[in-house]
Amino acid sequence: MSFDEIRNILPQSFPFIYIDVVEKFDEGVCIVTRKNVSGGEHYVQGHFPNRVIYPGVYIIEGMAQSAILLHKLTFINDFEQGDKVHVLSEVNAKFLHSVAPGDTIHYECNAILLYSKTGMVEVKALVRDKLIAKAELKFAVVENINSAAKDKVTI
C-alpha cells in the first residue's frame, strides 16, 4: 500500500503521518508498516542539536497509526462515513534504542483483541532487525464530535 493510499485512510494529515508504506497486511491479525527517517524532517532542527534522534513520541504515533490501519482495513465497512475516530485509552511502552536519520523503522503490529469498536495490539518497532521499542496499545472507536457538531453550528 502506497503513501497516498495510507493518507486517504488515516485521519491525520501531512506532516503528521508517520507511516510511509504498508509492507504486509493480514486481515484481523497483523500489519507491517515502514517509516523512512530522513534528516530533512521538521523535528531534526532541535532534537537534539549535537546528536539528532527521532523523538520517541513519533515512534509511539507510528505504532498507533499502524494500529489504526490494521483496525480500519479489517473493519473497512464501519468507517465509510468518516464519523468515527480512534482514541488511545492506554499505552504501555518501552524504548530500548534510539533512532537516527537514515534509519528505517519497521512496525510489526499484531492484534491481541480486535473488535469493531475497540482493540488491543502489541507493536514492535525494529531498525535493521533490532528491537528499538515495543508497546501494548489499547484503543476505542468513538463518534467524531467534530463531524457531529458541524451540522449543528449556528452563527
Block residue for cell numbers 500500500: 1
* Grid cell locating 141: 472507536
Q: Which residues are catalytic?
A: 47
Burial 96-115 (b: 16+ CB within 10 A, else e): eebbeeebebbbbbbbeebe
Strand partners, 137: 91, 121
Alpha-helical regions (H) of the chain: 3-9, 56-74, 145-150
